[in-house]
Structure 1
């Protein structure tokens, strides 16, 4: 496969680089103490959904000014049609745009709404839903969160227990969601709820709903993780009335809408560039006097570390090629399938291997949590804790392997074991 840019893609890449240089707000600087949100499009020191609501007016204004600059070009949702605030770019141009923004270390805007919900509404939404929700996302004025996971359900999403009961022209929603990324900063939620308790198989009784996060009966409680940050939350629904017009797709067919959304979630380039940056930063730091002072000195450590870094570099290039292959399928008019699960699985496990490599480079010093005075400002210490969740965020490694086996390799589904 030849991943070289066409002349048109090369020209667009230059256009994006010039735009970032000229329009990114100089006052919107990275916060070295902030933890990342754990999303693939993270850029260290930025968290746009949080920054846009910051108590610091400089940070808040910078985040909003950056969103406004991108919205002028339709680049918050570049692949969407222009009528909904997008730029009508090709899948490959969208890939180039995201890649160059990540390489410039500037944050993307409106992540889950632009990259997950928007494309899903374009496939399954009504014209009213598209007109009501897409322009606000594309302007950076409305943010969304995903209400799928529940306590006790684990990776078996079809076992969810949140209920939605039809009452006239609305659904009455009751239940709980958990591990909702940045839900406390969201204006709207897209939620899976059970509407047929007797459905067999279970996934046939689920409906996809759009829920106003400020509606009466919605309670949001942030969850603090082991880093001391709160990148996600739990959400409670108590007799929340959701207009039937905010149902996406048919009643009891929401599972198929959700699978479309999850396919888009697993197809990005963000993680690849983030890992490239981390690896390049590690190599550069180890070549400095300070880095050499922190590096392990036990016999064979340097040679072992060189081998590990070389292997991580090769794996990052593999991940890049997986991302390029996935977007090439999209460019051919296909929805992301099992290839995106290969990308997700490989990237999640690479995140953990890269974190361990960085920690091994510094031996006992890698345990220093405070950034001041730690090697590489404790970047890999924090990454090790970030990476704990990698293999179950967006679908566990077991789920991804099942998808690859059944949809990609056409292997038979395993039969339940008999007692």
Structure 2
């Protein structure tokens, strides 16, 4: 009887040529050794030769390869679940067919999981012709969790998971979601894991931008983003009691999934789409938007989401235009202590009725604005106040005309 492999590499592939060639080569080149790996590749109804190339690779590769060919499922969740059902390794790693592994990726991640006894291992990700998450790679960490680190900002599935954890909790990808399904799966793994490790001293994963623009994360309409946000928010609420720890995690779906729907694209949306976005957001804001979440955001982020929560589509375009233009926000100094408020649109506008607290800035955020100096804040404030008042007075006059 063959020994149990250390890692089952699960590859869901759809129309993956020619990227699949480098992907599989990176698996073949792993320093962990071919006898410690199995590859489970699922061709999801490709018509570009992906399935044929997988079968050819299986015939000649030194690693054990299982190829499954099926009708197109419409998303990445189905193939990943098929792969999970077939996996026999102690760990599983989900590799996208258009990406590739660093040469020591699996060896380092398995060694880390075995040494630290952790259930999830993140390997450093580097973008190739596309952006990649950065804030969590400052140092290699043997044991952390989702509350003590920035790992909530990398919820892609390309991580090493202890298979026993997934089987114990019956974890699978939600096939009803067509975007954000990996965020749901990975967040649940973080929350259930007995520790998470970070390998930051070796690039383990190369996130490749496709020239044809067919990468799965670039597809899907705006309604799918709301579905994704709702699913992740509900998962967090289910697993984490109300309070600071829940608020800390809720920042992620609000900031990464929901807020972009009320960014620059909103300015070009039709009135119908704008109205629909507010309707879709309303139950999410009612259920999960709290003072604790708001306090953890920057002023312009908090302000936009406050307007969404208060159902004020009439005020939002001014704010989005202001942020898009990257104008210098003015600031006001509260008489009590040295509180600093960034005077984005509608600040202290009686008709708008937005609380001052929405505009309250942390010192680090305020220092990022041109003209601010810790020692000269009073001068900066007076100058900024005059400028802001004149700008908004002029806008009001034009509107009245």
TM superposition score normalised by structure 2: 0.22
